[in-house]
Structure 1
Amino acid sequence: MFLTYGDLAKLFPNKYGIQDHELYFHTVVSNSAVLQPKGLFIPFEDGSGKLSQAIENGAIAALWDEKENIPSYTPNHFPIFITNDLLKGLKDMMELYIENLRKMEQTRKEVTNFLFLDEVRLKETKSTYDIAVMTEKIRTVKERLQIGKEGAK
């Protein structure tokens, strides 16, 4: 089972680009340098890279922070889902995906791959983590961001 445009449209009603409920995402990626066939690009980390590179590497949509300008080079038809919190959006997306997987009774031969780079080996190799590990990583990143905001006050 793949994550679909329809799944994301439910979570993120504010969106741009083509509305194609037949669109399936094979990968979810946070770094534009990673090959992401039929990918959904989510730039939630510093150094995630540019949307143009993500598109070159196979991204067919993006989850975008409402505070950030969408790059002017973005194709008009390219789906962009808007959120006010990328980490929460990713968490909600993963929870919906897990819920949908649990509802399925058939064999799960085709699944969406959530790809994140191992911090130790950045740009050398890619690692695929299971959803539980990714959820923990997102929580850790969110805590670091919160500590940074509190320290800046």
Structure 2
Amino acid sequence: MLTYQDLSSLTLRTTGIKVENIRFHTVSSLAGAKQPRGLFVPVSADCGTLQEAISNGAVAAVWPEGEQVPAYAPNHFPIFYTQDNLKGLEKIMNSYNDYLSQHEDIDERTKFIFLNKALLNEGDETYDIAVMAENINGYGSNRNKAGEE
């Protein structure tokens, strides 16, 4: 499973509680999705709020560097900062995929939840983490500099 330690090695700055052995059962870009022991990664304005993600089970979030975290976020809530959430998500997925390819016998795996079809193959839904990471990279390169489609 994806851990706090894995994420902290990929990001420059974190706030909140620093517990190396926190394990993330889910990673989701959708605040409204059930995400037990989840990591919330908002990649667009229509992802939902951090408060909604927390109420659905998120125990940490990836957040854009320089953007203020909502005041309602608990002080102990782990936040991993990145320059670009979409690129940060791609980095997380690639790192986790590399880990899985080296440890194929692992029974417990982190579940990635993305329902935005623009992030999936053209018309074919996939849950293969390498394919999703590749599609996310393509999705990010299609946005203009202001981050709008």
Bin for the TM-score computed over the shorter chain: 0.7 to 0.9
1:116: which partner in 2? 114
Q: Is the 8 A contact 1:34 1:57 kept in 2?
A: yes
Deviation of the 1:14 alpha carbon:
0.3
State the alpha-carbon separation in 1 of the partners of residues 117 and 88 from structure 2: 22
Deviation of the 1:69 alpha carbon:
0.9
2:43: which partner in 1? 44
Deviations 1:4-54 (A, max 9, x none): 000011111301000001100011100100000110000012301100000
Deviation of the 1:137 alpha carbon:
2.7
Q: Is the 8 A contact 1:32 1:50 kept in 2?
A: yes
The counterpart of 2:145, out of the listed 142, 145, 149, is 149
2:27: which partner in 1? 28
Normalised by the length of structure 1, the TM-score is 0.84
Cα pair distance change 1:18/1:128, threshold 3 Å:
farther
Quick check: which has more Rg, 1 or 2? 1
**Aligned ranges for residues 6-85 of structure 1 at < 5 Å?**
6-85=5-84
Deviation of the 1:103 alpha carbon:
2.3
Q: Percent identity?
A: 46
Which consecutive unaligned segments of at least 5 residues does structure 2 have? 119-124
Instruction: Count the aligned residue pairs.
Output: 141
Deviation of the 1:118 alpha carbon:
4.0
1:124: which partner in 2? none
